[in-house]
Structure 1
Amino acid sequence: MKNLDWSPKRWLRLTLPPILIIVWLLVAGLGGPTFGKISEVSTNDQASFLPASAESTAAREWQLKFVDSNAIPAVVLLTSTEALTSEQLGQIATLPKKLSAVSGVQKPEAPATTSVAGPIPSEDKKAVEFLVPISGTDEVKSVVDELRNVLQSSAPGGVSIYVTGPAGLTADLVNAFGGIDGILLLVALIAVFVILLVVYRSVVLPLLVLFTSVVALCASIVVIYYMASWDWIKLSGQSQGILSILVIGAATDYSLLLVARFREALHQVQSKWAALGRAMRGAWEPIVASGSTVILAMLCLLFSDLNSNRSLGPIAAIGILFSLVAALTCLPALLVAFGRGAFWPFKPKMDANHANKHADHGTHGMSVEKTDAVEHGLAGVGGIWRRIGLLIARRPRITWVVTLVLLLAASSGILQLQANGVSQTEVILGQSNAVDGQRALAEHFAGGSGSPVLIIADQNSKDQILVAVKDTEGITEASIYTGNGRPDVAAEPVVKEGRVLINATLADQADSSAAEQVVVELRKQLPQVDSTVLVGGVSAIALDTNLTAQSDLFKIVPLVLLVILVVLILLLRSIVAPLLLIGSVVLSYIATMGVSALVFNHVFDFPGADATVPLFGFVFLVALGVDYNIFLMTRVREESLLMGTHAGILRGLGKTGGVITSAGVVLAATFAALGIIPLLFLAQLAFIVAFGVLLDTVIVRTLLVPALTYDIGNRVWWPSKRTFGGLNPFENSPRSSDSQPVAQPSVEPER
């Protein structure tokens, strides 16, 4: 038998590992400081993620022509349980000058005036509001913090103070993302380290794998930071958090597959270089195929109309690319540098009889031809994976039918999924002064106060449009913009290029579903008066975001499935097997969303789900879920070519079961770490991906796919013309091929 084990020259063995390790250390040195600066190029402005074709985007561009500013309004609210006294009102009257003096608050054109509108008292005399324009969105958090500090020191006693509105909510959203830079990454790394420590019972190996993951993240951060600073992509706190988790999880998964192959090879050969060569030959193809599948699936998001989705595509693809490169360059260098010491204190020892250790156990109760396949397929396999293999060999059809019924039952819950968007006040799960302020605002003022609907209309039809707006249910008042802080019927309206701006105050909170319905009604009625009218504002932005997200779901899902199907066909040289795998991950996704809907509605009592949740859940679960099927089926195909399909399925399942389960647990744990950020979207995505990965790992990949493949037999490889175990793949008696002896491992001296 020809020896194909890798034996590089001595100079290469001495120089290549340290060079690769030094290169990745330099990358980590660049990425570390950049990681702390990436929030500088991140934005959480919802309007910036809308497509240019959205009506609210066009309305916003026209609004800037009128106000000539990128100011974002903050609503300062002071409330009391009793009617405000004259003394309190006197102190409140001094606040505009103090608020306008805060750095970042838009300055008035006339020095003697103030840009702060107010005080505006409520009808019940228990509250007063101010409208404070904040210049730009880059420093909203610091400006809002300073406004709150001024109110704390200057507001009269006995009142509650809030800074809310679009600026206050944006600032609290930024605060909610504050854990991404450090806490999120720390939690994810600790979770991965503990899992690897338990699985491998080694202190060294988890550190090598984590180092590989961290340097992959550092490389990703550097590239993404500069792409965002050059304005090539839009980076949000949400994308930043997903990137960290995705890179750590994916890099660890790819590393575990290579580690499993390396440890297996160390039982067969003495030389660590020969073991690495065997590991790379067995692992590179599924790792590259898995990484390519995820990269292509993420790049499908470039076809999204929602800029936030489109931006996440290249961000996630870059993260997966560096995860792939690090797993195939950095980790091999570390493994060959440490050798068997990487698994200390349980170093793997070479065992020439390792492959046949379990060949004669557990096959009672089967026919002779089945026993041949099981003996060879489960040779060297023990524990739970041997028992699962025996179950599949004895009852393949019952196994996959039962699991299919369970998954279909779980899928029925998807009918209860409420993914039509939620109000911005419900996005933040933790304590928020702005959210509390919005609720207090609705008690004393019109709910949409401070966040009006913006209508851009032709100046010749302004009076008719104004009447139509005022007559619309859900609008409390409306006025044509005159350039003043408060409506002035005596002033002349501001006209820009033949158009006027109308501000309409909503009865309900601007980000509520009721407010969005008012926008729908305005867009239906107003074009009958003026065909060029545009309806924008906070409510319109939320509506257009939800509609675009729902449209993206039906566009992106077929693209992702097609891309994954093509990759699987090229990888497995088959059509039946890829279709089977695609069907299994889609079913796993639907079952996951069904269970998630029930948990969200009846356990966590969430108000609903963001409209982008189904799409993000699909992309991550399908792209990452198919990874495990790739790990399994590439090994099954490799073994089937040697010993036949039935034995190959059992051998592939037994050899990959432990590593895939470990990888699934690691990925689930890393995504679950997103739950520490008090945001509804990330909490829901954390549960969906964590539960879905575990469901796919424990049920779909362990039982459904192997049992169904076993039941189909050789025809699963159609239309491949390769022979499996010495027979044509379409012959009906594959079991006789399973008697082919297993090649004995070679024994070489350590180099």
Structure 2
Amino acid sequence: MAAQSPLPDTGRTARPHGRPAGPDRPGDAPPSGRRRLLPWAVILLWVALLAVAAPLGGQLSEVQSDDSVEYLPESAESTRVARLQQDLPGGGTTDLLVVHEREDGLTEEDRRIAEERVAGIADRWDAAGEPRGILSEDGTVLLHPLSLPAPGADGTENAAGTDNADDADGVVFEIREAASEDLPEGLTVLVGGPGAFGADAGEVFGSIDTTLLIATVAVVTLLLILIYRSPALWLLPLISVGAAAMLAMAVVYGLVRIFDLTVSTQNSSIMTVLVFGAGTDYALLLVARYRDELRRFAHPHNAMVAALRGVLPALLASSGTVAAGLLCLLAADLNSSSGLGPVGTAGILCALLAMITLLPALLLVTGRKVFWPMIPAPGTAPRGDRGLFARLGASVSHRPVAILVTGVVALGALALGTLNLPGPLRDADFFTTPPESTVAAETLGEAFPERSTRPITVLAPEDTAEGVLGTVSATDGVDSAEPGRSGAGWTEINVFATGAPESAEERDTVRALREDLADDAGGEPAALVGGPTAQAVDLDDTNARDRVIVIPLVLLAVLVILIALLRSVVAPLVLLAGVVLSWGSALGLGGLFFGPVFGFDGMDGWIPLLTFVFGVALGVDYGIFLMHRMREEALAGADTRTAALTALRATGGVIASAGIVLAATFSVLMTLPLVVMVELGFVVAVGVLLDTFVVRTYLVTSAAWLLRERMWWPGPLWRRPPAAPAPEGGHGPTGGTPEGPETTAGTPRTGAGAPDRA
């Protein structure tokens, strides 16, 4: 029997089993000399391209911005406050909390040492005002708030004699060293606050790129070796995806320079995972198709042409859905979400370009021998075992209703886990391993449960600052308020709430302040409310708004692409319903794991939206490969039930491998010390596995079995005369079985009576 390809066929006449491949076969003539040189020309072009891209991509880390403003909503009031603070005297400040503690109570000597040490720090780094100590009721903790000018704002140099303009984090680490030097035994000091939190985050972000790249390359390499079981073949996809990653970094660097695009470390890390995951998937699909074509063609060049013709429509649709989904993020108001749109799209398109140009060229110059020890020879039958997916297909044909209902109910039950998702992610819960700033926040929360230890920032016009201060002081939930810096037409008022930092009570105080300061006429408010807690409030509101806008856009964009590819409305709706259900189930599993298993006390509000975009755009890929192959089989004359089983059997192995690779690459995010990245990696990885092994294998196939020709409504396949139904065992009208292709020896798949291609 003719070898079945793991991807959609182009509709060509199948070679009858036993007919030798060779020059006598139409389309298998030896390639011309010019065609033989083309792969080398492509490789040389990529070498030249990377020679230019490598230096540019290497500079991407220099233009990444992890300033807190870049993670805030563009239009939010707290974002405006953060930007206006840059114009106040000293620019943006580095706000720190110096915490001295002794478990059995601070002694008079401890307090004297702490006061002297903090005074020295304040003098050395020009802190605003005189530092005032606040002693906890139990006498175990002494707190000193410090507000330092932005490093380098006045052109000064730090202790090392270097420019401080980009050294706010360095200042924090220097202060920690100075504060902890030669302390008496039992007396500890912690430096926390927003400035210290930013320094700790910056230290983590600084190591993410290298750690993530090494882990991703290691995972992809291991999986490729296991999949191909060849000492050399795995290297070609790895080289190609590495080239794609370097090109993507250069493209993003260019976007930053040309369009002033803001790129965060989180977004560049996600792009790296996307390039390696999606790029490796594309490579697996192309190599699998090429391997099959090598058994049909004597000349590798002809086999590659046939392979590219077969996979290109599906690869274009696959990358198109991901790119379209990511570009929908441009409609998000959250800076970190909208910035990911063009960054991720650049990565996906570079991955596609490498896999349809560089990888084919590398495969051609290495020839058949690169598949050693399982070299595909012309005229031989495929070695891969597709019996598993044939048996799965047979089970669907025997009990389609039971399988569909059971699958939907099971995934729906898992989706109920979303009711157990943790609340908003606090700064104190941002890291998987608490750094010093987080430990300091926890210590202060226990020592001062009756009040906030970090201010809510209110910016008032200078001419009305006194009246605003009175309004603020009288607002419910405010413990105290005092004016701070003035300049550029604004006065900064530091407001301390009675509620604990990041608590629901403090959030209510932020909302109360905004309500009391709002202009009844609907114009500009009397003052602006910002600070960390106000930012958290705005993030929650913006994430909710972005979900309402972006999710429908993603669904619409993906639906349009699927309709254009499949010439149907019902089939795309089935695919979308499946991936949305798998996303809900994966997020529900997050609710069952984040708190009870991982011990996370919060979930970033960014997670539902981002996992939806990835879950739908990436998950629908596997449905595309299955459904596209199903449509090709139907166009060749098979009824929909037979086409569904044939498509499942033919695409099963390679798509299962692709799903495992993509899930594994996103799982690499779970090795990073950031809760948000662990949560993102978990949900996307689980969602991809559910799409691969549950939705595609069972739900889509059983839905196609039950809907039959209605699956293609209102396209040409729906309007054709009904085909003879396939029996439950999966035998089609052309005599195929679950164990073999749907053609008999010598019978073309596009024989008489086959419909014209739509």
Given the two structures, how large is their TM-score scaled by the length of structure 2? 0.85
Alpha-carbon separation, structure 2, partners of 1:142 and 1:8: 65
Closer/same/farther in 2, CA of residues 61 and 45 from structure 1, 3 Å limit:
closer
Alpha-carbon separation, structure 1, partners of 2:715 and 2:222: 43
The one-letter amino acid of 2:548's match is F
Among all aligned residue pairs of Structure 1 and Structure 2, give the percentage whose two residues are the same amino acid.
35
How many Å apart are 1:663 and its aligned residue?
0.5
Q: Secondary structure at the match of 2:482?
A: strand
**Residue 445 of structure 2 aligns with which residue?**
442
623-632 vs 728-737, greater mean Cα deviation: 728-737
Q: Secondary structure at the match of 2:367?
A: helix
How many Å apart are 1:506 and its aligned residue?
2.7
How many Å apart are 1:619 and its aligned residue?
0.3
How many Å apart are 1:139 and its aligned residue?
2.8
How many Å apart are 1:175 and its aligned residue?
2.3
**Residue 171 of structure 2 aligns with which residue?**
143
Closer/same/farther in 2, CA of residues 4 and 122 from structure 1, 3 Å limit:
farther
**Residue 273 of structure 1 aligns with which residue?**
301
**Residue 753 of structure 2 aligns with which residue?**
none
- Retained in 2: the 8 A contact 1:632–1:653? yes
Closer/same/farther in 2, CA of residues 699 and 312 from structure 1, 3 Å limit:
same
**Residue 227 of structure 2 aligns with which residue?**
199
Task: Spell out the pairing of 1:711-750 with structure 2 (5 A cutoff).
Answer: 711-722=706-717, 729-731=720-722, 733-735=724-726, 737-739=733-735, 741-742=743-744
The one-letter amino acid of 1:437's match is A
The one-letter amino acid of 2:405's match is V
Q: Secondary structure at the match of 2:95?
A: strand
629-638 vs 310-319, greater mean Cα deviation: 629-638
The alignment yields a C-alpha RMSD, in angstroms, of 2.9
Which whole-Å deviations, capped at 9, do the CAs of 1:155-181 have from their partners, x for residues lacking one?
555421222111111111122224422
Task: Spell out the pairing of 1:352-501 with structure 2 (5 A cutoff).
Answer: 354=381, 382-418=386-422, 420-445=423-448, 451-457=454-460, 462-463=465-466, 465-481=468-484, 483=485, 494=486, 497=489, 500-501=491-492
- Retained in 2: the 8 A contact 1:671–1:690? yes
| 1:118 is aligned to 2:114 | no
630-639 vs 731-740, greater mean Cα deviation: 731-740
Consecutive unaligned residues of structure 1, counting only runs of 5 or more, are 109-113, 358-379, 484-493, 747-751
Alpha-carbon separation, structure 2, partners of 1:732 and 1:344: 43
Task: Spell out the pairing of 1:84-483 with structure 2 (5 A cutoff).
Answer: 84-96=106-118, 99=121, 105=125, 108=126, 115=128, 117-124=130-137, 126-133=141-148, 135=150, 138-153=166-181, 155=183, 157-229=185-257, 232-351=260-379, 354=381, 382-418=386-422, 420-445=423-448, 451-457=454-460, 462-463=465-466, 465-481=468-484, 483=485
| 1:515 is aligned to 2:511 | no
Q: Secondary structure at the match of 2:459?
A: strand
Which whole-Å deviations, capped at 9, do the CAs of 1:534-564 have from their partners, x for residues lacking one?
2111211111112101110111000000000
Q: Secondary structure at the match of 2:133?
A: strand
Alpha-carbon separation, structure 1, partners of 2:329 and 2:282: 23
- Retained in 2: the 8 A contact 1:66–1:496? yes
Consecutive unaligned residues of structure 2, counting only runs of 5 or more, are 1-11, 14-24, 152-164, 727-731, 736-741, 749-758
- Retained in 2: the 8 A contact 1:381–1:655? no
Instruction: Give 1:5's match in structure 2, choosing from 27, 32, 35.
Output: 27
Closer/same/farther in 2, CA of residues 142 and 61 from structure 1, 3 Å limit:
closer
Instruction: Give 1:78's match in structure 2, choosing from 83, 91, 100.
Output: 100
Alpha-carbon separation, structure 2, partners of 1:63 and 1:162: 26
| 1:697 is aligned to 2:692 | yes
Alpha-carbon separation, structure 1, partners of 2:493 and 2:109: 36
Closer/same/farther in 2, CA of residues 412 and 7 from structure 1, 3 Å limit:
farther
Which whole-Å deviations, capped at 9, do the CAs of 1:398-423 have from their partners, x for residues lacking one?
322222222222222223334x5211
Closer/same/farther in 2, CA of residues 556 and 159 from structure 1, 3 Å limit:
same
- Retained in 2: the 8 A contact 1:34–1:222? yes
Instruction: Give 2:613's match in structure 1, choosing from 609, 614, 619.
Output: 619
- Retained in 1: the 8 A contact 2:192–2:436? yes
Alpha-carbon separation, structure 2, partners of 1:414 and 1:86: 52
- Retained in 1: the 8 A contact 2:97–2:143? no
**Matched positions, count:** 696
| 1:571 is aligned to 2:572 | no
**Residue 648 of structure 1 aligns with which residue?**
643
Alpha-carbon separation, structure 1, partners of 2:525 and 2:606: 31
- Retained in 2: the 8 A contact 1:116–1:133? no
Alpha-carbon separation, structure 1, partners of 2:427 and 2:319: 35
Closer/same/farther in 2, CA of residues 515 and 695 from structure 1, 3 Å limit:
same
Task: Spell out the pairing of 1:629-668 with structure 2 (5 A cutoff).
Answer: 629-644=623-638, 645-668=640-663
**Residue 524 of structure 1 aligns with which residue?**
515
The one-letter amino acid of 2:419's match is L
The one-letter amino acid of 2:720's match is P
How many Å apart are 1:59 and its aligned residue?
2.9
Alpha-carbon separation, structure 2, partners of 1:711 and 1:738: 21
Alpha-carbon separation, structure 2, partners of 1:266 and 1:241: 37
Which whole-Å deviations, capped at 9, do the CAs of 1:645-681 have from their partners, x for residues lacking one?
2322222111110111000000110000001111111
Which whole-Å deviations, capped at 9, do the CAs of 1:587-624 have from their partners, x for residues lacking one?
11112212221222332232121111100110001000
- Retained in 1: the 8 A contact 2:386–2:650? no
Alpha-carbon separation, structure 2, partners of 1:447 and 1:470: 17
Q: Secondary structure at the match of 1:235?
A: coil
How many Å apart are 1:512 and its aligned residue?
3.8
Alpha-carbon separation, structure 1, partners of 2:530 and 2:392: 58
The one-letter amino acid of 2:311's match is A
Alpha-carbon separation, structure 2, partners of 1:211 and 1:50: 37
| 1:17 is aligned to 2:12 | no
Instruction: Give 2:69's match in structure 1, choosing from 47, 51, 59.
Output: 47
Q: Secondary structure at the match of 1:275?
A: helix
Q: Secondary structure at the match of 1:738?
A: coil
The one-letter amino acid of 1:195's match is L
Which whole-Å deviations, capped at 9, do the CAs of 1:223-277 have from their partners, x for residues lacking one?
2123335562211121121111111001001111101101111122221112111
Closer/same/farther in 2, CA of residues 100 and 4 from structure 1, 3 Å limit:
farther
The one-letter amino acid of 1:226's match is G
- Retained in 1: the 8 A contact 2:451–2:479? no
How many Å apart are 1:718 and its aligned residue?
1.8
Alpha-carbon separation, structure 2, partners of 1:447 and 1:325: 59
Alpha-carbon separation, structure 2, partners of 1:29 and 1:101: 50
733-742 vs 700-709, greater mean Cα deviation: 733-742
Alpha-carbon separation, structure 1, partners of 2:449 and 2:392: 63
Alpha-carbon separation, structure 1, partners of 2:35 and 2:684: 41
- Retained in 2: the 8 A contact 1:99–1:116? no
Which whole-Å deviations, capped at 9, do the CAs of 1:316-339 have from their partners, x for residues lacking one?
000001011011011101111122
Alpha-carbon separation, structure 2, partners of 1:134 and 1:564: 49
- Retained in 1: the 8 A contact 2:31–2:302? no
Richer in helix (by share): 1
